[in-house]
Structure 1
Amino acid sequence: MLQRLFTVIVAILLGCGGVIAIFYALNYAVNLLPQKWRSPVLPWVYLAPAIFVLGGFLVLPTINTFILSFFDRRSENFVFLDNYIFSFTDRTMLIAFRNNILWLVLVTGVSVALGLVLAVLMDKVKYEKWTKALIFLPMAISFVGASIIWRFIYAYRPADEPQIGLLNAIITSLGFEPVGWLVEQSVNNFALIAIMIWLQTGFCLVILSAAVKGIPNDVIEAARMDGANEWQIFWKIIVPMISSTITVVATTVVILVLKVFDIVFVMTGGNQGTEVIASRMIKETYNYRNVGVGSAIAVILLLAIIPVMVTNIKRFKEQERLR
């Protein structure tokens, strides 16, 4: 125990101390330059380590993945677009695409809409902070941790045995048959989607609540004096005035949903028709050792995320321009 503690302390001291020493040394080296060179060079000196790390651990692997996507299983023969054609024609991949679209529509739509409604309602309650904290609390749980919690909620036992799953215990107490939430293909995808909604609603609530509070009270009061009811105020004033924030929150959730893997892996392993793009990528690459197809799926996933990221960046630039 003491040896491990000593190792941790040494690693922290050497790691943090090494980083600090590197920046001090670089700053000292910049100060040795002529005065006219110091200002242009100094920002790049501090950015260089981050650029180096990003280049080594993000850019180069991305390029390598793109190249591998044009080769066969063992990365020996060039097959051009065969891996991409397989990705868009294989039955399991088509199921994964269908499921991802279902996740995108339901998780994004429900979590953003629910977060917006709660943000407006929380603005009127007495214990706003405590209520928001309670709803935001699932965000503190990892996807894997949340999945394990919900495995107990969805747990299934035959009808003649005691139910240990909370949901089936409630259902059987009302006189209904227990449901195999993670096995029955008519409900299992929706059961997994519910977990993501539970996790992301708190995030949407907090961000949208800040936007709602930024609306001037004078505008709301003027609308009420003109005879507008609460429903009209919500649709005609609140939603248009925070539309940019809604877009940012929605695109952030979309990016998370496109990359979803943990929940599916822990809950079903992608079986019983619950496969998603990310889980299929992992299976093709590591389970089936089909690196070419796995790389092609990774490239497809990257290309799907890029337009959403570009939309977010453009939105941020517009907000900065309007300030």
Structure 2
Amino acid sequence: MPAAPLIILHHFDQSPFSEKVRIVFGLKQVEWTSVLISRIMPRPDLMPLTGGYRRTPVMQIGADIYCDTQVIIRELERRVPEPTLFPDRSEGLAWASAMWTDRSFFQNTVNLVFGSLADKVPQEFIADREQLRGARFDVAAMTSAIPQMRDQFRAHVHWIETQLGSGRAWITGDKPGLCDVNAYMNIWYVRANLADALEMLAEFGHVRAWEARLRAIGHSSRSEMSPADALEIAARAVPQTAELTDPGDPNGRRPGDRVEIMPDDYGKVKVSGKIVALSPQHIAIRRHDPRAGEVVVHFPRAGFLVIPALV
């Protein structure tokens, strides 16, 4: 029997989006390899793999590169279907919940955390995030908005508390799933960064117990690897993605079309290549880099723009 493929996560420990994937590793008891990257650019051994995509985390399996937690978690569910992330048949709702947790809830949480940290935020971090966002990372404005951000955070957490208030242990039922993973990210981020986090959560007994259960799941078995070694693995490997056509693609895209892909909100760096596979939730493009060789880079469809490339 062939050995299981090496699952590599390019991440940094403070990343809330990476924590989502690490918890999925824990739920599924997946052995994984950690490649620690800088919190800010440059990332010279990662950019050849992604083609310029710079958000965190990125998962690598050989010469297949998965960008964004949506497509990373989808691939982990495909490869390791048990235990499922959808124990209560909540798959559609669970995927959609990320549009809440990763956008409005996360933006509220980021403003609360960095407004509270204020002058502790390094200037080089601010400059990097301004480049990532394409807008000013205004810590002073975040600080002045703390009362409003506390109101908003409380409202988001109250939704979770209400859902857990019927006596269920997990958001969608008796077993943990993707809805829990998505919502947990922001609670984890506040707990990791704010000294008064427990005070903020004091009125939410169900949420505090639920958070403790998720934290206890852990991250499964983790080993370490250097970014240079991960890049070398990709350079020696051959992408394993099979060609896949989406007959219902509303724009008539098909394998072989040259496109550019980028997020629709921030980190709008275009990644160019030829379509290999596409579906309503996934698109993969083939590209070549002098250092990484031939790679296939995978993106979700929701939250990403697919633009015809000029030949």
For normalisation by structure 2, the TM-score amounts to 0.22
| Higher fraction of helix | 1
Bigger-Rg structure (1/2): 1
Give the structure-1-normalised TM-score: 0.21
Higher fraction of strand? 2
